[in-house]
Amino acid sequence: LKRIIHVNNHGTEYWTRFSWFIELTRISGHVQVEISVALPERRCGTLDIRNHPSQGYKLAGHKTAVSSAHVNCSVMEGSMVLSLIQASNVTEADFPVFHHLREITGSLLIFHVRKLSTLSRIFPNLRIIGGQNLIQHFSLIIYQNEDLMDIGLSKLRLIRNGGVRVAENNKMCYSRYIDWKHLMAGPLNDILVDDAVEIGVGEGKILSCTDDCEVEDESKCRRVSHSRGEQLSCWNKNTCQEDCPYDRINGSVGPGCADSNGAKCHEQCVAGCTVPDDDKACYGCLHYNHDGACVEKCPAHLFTYLNRRCITEAECDAMSALRGGKDVYKPANGVCATICPEGLEEDPTNKKRCRKCAGECVRKCPGNITVDTMSKAMQLKHCSIIEGYLEVEMRVGMSTVAASQLTDVFGKITTIDGYFVVRLSPSFVNLHMFRSLTRITGRSLYRDKYAMSIFENSNLQKLFPPENRLVIDTGSVQFQNNRMLCYFRIKELMTKLGREHEMSEEDQSLSYYSNGDKAICE
């Protein structure tokens, strides 16, 4: 049986197919019929709730009420922010309930909110956090909420990308024994979690955080090991983190378990399903959603959008107005995005289209920026010329980022039209990620002197790849306090730059004493 329903989405129309799945099982001479309905997608954009639970903000800071479109939304193509709610007359009942919301493609931030004791009431069915947009390196941040006692996201099954930060919530319990690693699937997956008992803030307000919970069947719960032994992973005192053997398969994201009988979901599902082995019963898709079904690839005439669903060319053309931003979406090579794919450039006669580059594709990006998070770094992924200075300062959150990922981000940069600084980046062992960098103009100088300054990188051992042919137009070079970087490496680079005459033991810009003093050097 099939039926077609009409759904309103962001003020535009789309069609979602409902299908009925009938499973016939002969039990004791009887036929058992299990019927499931394909899950519809009611989509909405980013929601920023501030100052009061009913008060949202649109672009440019304009106030707006939290709409029914958001309350009834099942997939939020954007991020959710709940912040700065401090009024004394607010009650927990004032907070909206997003009963249908099962996926947030961006990040979830709960910050500085009073009168909220748990997230279980407002997000009872949230299963997926996508992490396509991060706050620093995190896709889930729960920070400084003085009344929050537990997280309570009992249906959460998958964090596609980004880490978890739970801190300074004075009454928080249960968060430290959630098996966060089991939920994470992306390259950025730092976990910084504390309970009130760990930071000592809860003393006098709560007796302790035992993190114990009572559930009907402990065999269905995940467990973690710690100093007290093995502990149930609990979201609150009555609900544990459910253990599904199909959430992970051979270390990769699995399809999850069916609500109906716990069996394995269809291979194109993630985060579970209503009934097993049905590509239209998935809570989320491993690859793409097309007409209500999870598919490995979009049909050839369609385009992937947000790396999660298939849309038409006309839908892509309308996306800029739909999302209310300045970015122009372009359908090209099977993808609907604001940036043209590799080998293509924006058509100067039509910003909604891409064309093949006449020669080498050159993409200019605004400079005068400090890259201190991976999400900021990702903005440079397709850039070849930085129009201004570039400072890189990756202090935290890089422990799980592979060198290949950094090369993907910085590897196309050929020119920095200003100065170049790398500082306080302990995860950097070399600068090979800047393999294509051939020119630093020095149009602007760091501290009015340096075109390139590399300092305070505690694990830096090598510089640019041997085949690199860097030229610095004007300005000096500085290397200081890179304690694993042998001085001969600096000398080799200065020779290639034709600047060996600038080196002397007295010159503190290229300090012989503060570079390589902790390394074994030739």
pLDDT in tens, 252-277: 999 999 998 999 999 999 999 999 99
254 with 188, same domain: the answer is no
115 and 201 belong to one structural domain: yes
Cβ neighbours around 251 below 10 Å, total:
6
Looking at 195, 210, 225, the residue that finishes a domain is 210
Tens of pLDDT, residue by residue over 331-383, are 999 999 999 998 899 999 999 999 999 888 999 999 999 998 888 898 898 89
Domain assignment of residue 500, yes or no: yes
Cβ burial of 250 (10 Å; 0-12, 13-18, 19+) is: exposed
Q: Are residues 60 and 155 in the same domain?
A: yes
CATH classification at residue 499: 3.80.20.20
Which segments of 170-220 are extended strands (E)?
Answer: 191-193
Q: Is the pLDDT of residue 210 over 50?
A: yes
Within a domain: 194? yes
Q: How far apart are CA 490 and CA 67, in angstroms?
A: 59
Q: Which pLDDT score, from 0 to 100, does residue 204 have?
A: 44
At residue 395, the pLDDT reads: 80
Beta strands in 100-215 (DSSP E): 103-104, 108-113, 128-129, 138-143, 158-159, 163-167, 191-193
pLDDT band at 207 (very low <50, low <70, confident <90, very high): very low
Band of the pLDDT at 385, cuts 50, 70, 90? very high
Phi-psi region of 487 (alpha: psi -120 to 50; beta: other; left: phi over 0): alpha
Q: Are residues 277 and 192 in the same domain?
A: no
Whether residue 265 sits in one domain with residue 196: no
For residue 285, the domain's CATH number is 2.10.220.10
Average pLDDT over residues 197-223: 70
109 and 196 housed in the same domain: yes
Among 151, 182, 210, the domain boundary falls at: 210
Three-class SS state of 68: helix
pLDDT digits (tens, 9 = 90+) for 76-122: 999 999 999 999 999 999 999 999 999 999 999 999 999 999 999 99
Nearest alpha-carbon partner for 232 in 210, 251, 253, 263:
210
Q: pLDDT value at position 4?
A: 30
277 and 382 housed in the same domain:
no
Helix then strand then coil, % of the chain, to nearest 5: 10, 35, 55
- Look up tokens 């300074």; give the residue: 168
Asked if pLDDT for residue 19 goes beyond 70, the answer is no
Q: Are residues 85 and 151 in the same domain?
A: yes
Can you give the pLDDT at residue 208? 60
Same domain? For 154 and 279 the reply is no
Taking residues 401-424, report their average pLDDT. Answer: 89
Q: Note the Cα 221 to chain centre separation in Å.
A: 27
User: Per residue in 437-474, pLDDT tens?
Assistant: 999 999 999 999 999 999 999 999 999 999 999 999 99
Structural domain contains residue 320: no
Residue 157's alpha-carbon distances to 125, 154, 194, 247, 255, in angstroms, are 10, 8, 21, 8, 10
For residues 66 and 121, give the distance between their C-alpha atoms in angstroms, rounded to a whole number. 17
Residue 236 confidence (pLDDT)? 93
Percentage of the chain beyond pLDDT 90 is 68
Coil vs helix vs strand at 169: coil
Whole-Å CA distances, 457 to 137, 187, 426, 479, 480: 20, 22, 5, 10, 9
**Is 11's pLDDT higher than 70?**
no
Tokens of 349: 């006669």
β-pairing, 335-337 vs 350-356, is: unpaired
- Statement: residue 28 has pLDDT above 50: no
Q: CA–CA separation, 128 vs 75, rounded Å?
A: 9
Instruction: Please indicate, yes or no, whether residues 254 and 190 belong to a single structural domain of this protein.
Output: no
Q: How many CB atoms lie within 10 A of CB 109?
A: 19
- Domain presence at residue 337: no
Measured between alpha carbons, how far is 155 from 149 in angstroms, rounded to an integer? 18
Mean pLDDT lowest among 5-9, 84-88, 124-128, 326-330: 5-9
Instruction: Report the distance separating Cα 489 and Cα 498, nearest Å.
Output: 14
Q: Which domain holds residue 269?
A: 248-305
What is the per-residue pLDDT for 62?
57
Q: Please tell me the predicted confidence (pLDDT) of residue 323.
A: 77
Tell me whether residue 13 is in a domain: no
User: Does 369 lie in the same domain as 301?
Assistant: no
Alpha-carbon span 227 to 214, nearest angstrom: 21
- Model's pTM, two decimal places? 0.82
Q: Which of 81, 149, 141, 139 is nearest to 114 (CA)?
A: 149
Non-local (6+) Cβ contacts of 120 within 8 A are 150, 152, 153, 154, 235, 236, 239
Q: What is the pLDDT of residue 89?
A: 93
What is the Cα gyration radius of the chain? 26
**Which pLDDT score, from 0 to 100, does residue 63 have?**
66
Same domain, 296 and 421: no
User: Which H helix or E strand runs over 409?
Assistant: helix 403-410
Q: How many structural domains does the chain have?
A: 3
For residue 243, being part of any structural domain is answered with: no
Out of 154, 184, 210, pick the residue that ends a domain. Answer: 210
Residue 230's pLDDT is 85
Residue 154 belongs to some domain of the structure: yes
| pLDDT tens digits, one per residue of 304-317 | 999 999 999 999 99
* 235 within some domain: no
Output phi, psi for 66, to 5 deg. -70, 115
Please state, in angstroms and rounded to a whole number, the distance separating the CA atoms of residues 143 and 166.
6
Can you give the pLDDT at residue 396?
66
